[in-house]
Structure 1
């Protein structure tokens, strides 16, 4: 019955309001009990008797003044609301970042932000309100209270609040507590700003080789995936296992090579890759799809990473389960990674003895890679003779043809003109070295310009 249908007295309205609040509190308690059951199954919460369950039943705080004081870091008002002897470990419902379908009144479903549990300790720790956090802890707040599945320590690490992390640990917060998703606080140190948080955790006994429940990642896997060089160095200094595999068979080296990143971050990811290899990471390990680190680096088009792996002797022509060699992975990435200069990756692969593209597939390559003329140039320059057909011209979009007119004019002119003598000599020398060009050519007693030419220097035309 709607309150707008009939005229209700103020007493009746208050009674309805109290009934609604009671139902909401009961729903919170039910969801909280369901959460505790999950934790007990993992052995993190002891089984409680009936009387104990009543005593441990969390209180739902709906006071907006308290919420406002906590979320704004108003330490004076926090002191007023929470003092010694008052209940500090209250539960607060907050809107999360995830959307979900929720049934509203009159049977209407709507897309709302998922309601999540939090508490005063988590709110202040996640926002870096160290003064308020200190007061709550001194008032007896349970330091590992986790109504939403994460402790305050998880929240502080996720938001890189180093002072709050230190404070929580000094009050004996568990540095190895598992969140509902199976992450320790160390797994949530996933930004460059969180380095000090990671140092505090390790100093207080955090396990450097702990694993996540979903992917079996160690903190080193996560640091490598986010390109965090200082974190990687820190974890290795504490004995992190450098070649441990996650549930996909990936080592930290696979993680750094596989992670897509911007052109601006390419140098940072290269340094992490180099650090891992210098510290003993194996370049020969294959993940579950039989991909090597080279397959993954070619897909992200980080040419410096590719050069490093090739220099370390990784197999340039190994096929994965899908029948793809690193060259195939590199070509598949060209159209999406133009800012990474994918032609450099292609050139390195060819100089280290990669298989060449079957001439019959060149029209397809032109269709997908024509926006990178230098990629086409280096692929064509490993043949001493090749038949240019009408299919080549039809494969290049008109807009691309107009944008790179000079290069494609020189390419299509090969249909009527043989390759120049200089190019034929280059092909003969490269064939003689049989895939060892990058190892041998730099030491030949030739002018630097000729050595560069033998190693497929870009000219922006073909002849």
Structure 2
């Protein structure tokens, strides 16, 4: 194939990509070589500031990466998110490409705009082999991003148990907290990652550890309707009546949340106090009234929920249900004997 002298090898498409970007994305080493010898700019940046090297790495083409580097591709080039080719390799499981790039870098701990290192990206995407490689090459296992989240937080949140185990075996801090006080257990519990939750509990992490809002892993699991996690945490002895900074217990969260019905039943069956009140006097029954959780209000009443309890403003659950217009709930409360004269 010949490139005619009249052709512009650096012509841009609508995304500011050159033919070299395309060849790199396709991993075509021969065309890459030909384009460069015909005057293609090796470090041209597209709209997102991605270079052909970023593209070659994303396509996991070791050969394309080697050709570009032979022609002085910038291994430290950053895109608009400040990601280098190593970040892209880590996110895309491009282990062979990373092995080519790493010896040319002064550090594997460079962070992107969000403060994430290549290790964060590898952990987030569940790439065990890449995590192993980065750790072997000196990655900081406890590096934190802009929100103080470690690689372990991300692996736990995404449910990558093998990566979680690997990081912990290499000395990752199991009790690490981000800026809002979330631990890896909070992260896993909130996203329903039951196997990671079990693993962390087996390691003996503090089950009732709180974040800056006073919420435990059980609070978060209830808020997000993660019933399997709620079951595991309660079986393991989590405090079902732990109040957060506002005085809300996991039962308040289960009463309010969109998918908390089964969580609420699990808590009630595990001895949660159905009449506990928050700092503003709201009981779990008040929470069902605010959010119109009709079935859950019945469960609470059947288990001793005080139907006419008043909050700090003197409102009963019936007042609250009426204010929010939840007709089914109003009927349930009245049928169950709510005092309409209050």
C-alpha distance 77-278 of structure 1, shift in aligned 2 (>3 A): same
Q: Does 1:347 align with 2:250?
A: no
CA distance in 2, matches of 1:384, 1:291: 23
Which structure's residues are more often strand, by fraction?
1
CA distance in 1, matches of 2:209, 2:217: 8
- Please state whether the residue corresponding to 1:92 is helix, strand or coil: coil
Q: 1:275 aligns with which of 163, 175, 199?
A: 199
CA distance in 2, matches of 1:74, 1:299: 49
C-alpha distance 135-309 of structure 1, shift in aligned 2 (>3 A): same
When Rg is computed on C-alpha atoms for both structures, the one with the higher figure is: 1
- Displacement after TM superposition at 1:132 (Å): 0.7
CA distance in 2, matches of 1:180, 1:391: 50
| Alignment check: 8 A CA contact 1:367 1:397 kept | no
Q: 1:302 aligns with which of 218, 226, 233?
A: 226
Q: 2:97 aligns with which of 164, 175, 178?
A: 164
C-alpha distance 207-146 of structure 1, shift in aligned 2 (>3 A): same
| Alignment check: 8 A CA contact 1:88 1:139 kept | no
C-alpha distance 217-412 of structure 1, shift in aligned 2 (>3 A): same
Which residue is 1:206 aligned to? 139
Q: Does 1:122 align with 2:54?
A: yes
CA distance in 2, matches of 1:230, 1:139: 38
Q: Which moved more, 1:247-256 or 1:196-205?
A: 196-205
CA distance in 1, matches of 2:66, 2:123: 25
C-alpha distance 414-235 of structure 1, shift in aligned 2 (>3 A): same
- Displacement after TM superposition at 1:218 (Å): 0.9
Count residues in correspondence. 307
C-alpha distance 89-65 of structure 1, shift in aligned 2 (>3 A): closer
Which residue is 1:90 aligned to? 43
Q: Deviations over 1:79-132 (max 9, x none)?
A: 11236xx897523132xxxxxxxxxxxxxxxxxxxxx32222112112223221
Which residue is 1:320 aligned to? 244
Which residue is 2:4 aligned to? none
CA distance in 2, matches of 1:82, 1:204: 31
Q: Does 1:178 align with 2:131?
A: no
Residues 389-408 of structure 1 aligned to structure 2 (within 5 Å):
396-397=326-327
Unaligned ranges ≥5, structure 1: 1-61, 95-115, 260-265, 402-407, 416-463
Residues 231-380 of structure 1 aligned to structure 2 (within 5 Å):
231-259=163-191, 266=192, 269-333=193-257, 336-337=258-259, 342-357=260-275, 362=285, 365-366=288-289, 368-370=291-293, 373=295, 375-380=296-301
Which structure's residues are more often helix, by fraction?
1
CA distance in 2, matches of 1:156, 1:246: 25
| Alignment check: 8 A CA contact 1:143 1:173 kept | no
CA distance in 1, matches of 2:335, 2:206: 46
Which residue is 2:35 aligned to? 81
C-alpha distance 171-325 of structure 1, shift in aligned 2 (>3 A): same
C-alpha distance 332-65 of structure 1, shift in aligned 2 (>3 A): same
Q: Which moved more, 1:197-206 or 1:375-384?
A: 375-384
C-alpha distance 396-381 of structure 1, shift in aligned 2 (>3 A): same
CA distance in 2, matches of 1:304, 1:343: 12
C-alpha distance 202-330 of structure 1, shift in aligned 2 (>3 A): same
Q: Deviations over 1:37-64 (max 9, x none)?
A: xxxxxxxxxxxxxxxxxxxxxxxxx783
Which residue is 1:218 aligned to? 150
CA distance in 2, matches of 1:63, 1:145: 16
- Please state whether the residue corresponding to 2:76 is helix, strand or coil: coil
| Alignment check: 8 A CA contact 2:189 2:220 kept | yes
C-alpha distance 312-68 of structure 1, shift in aligned 2 (>3 A): closer
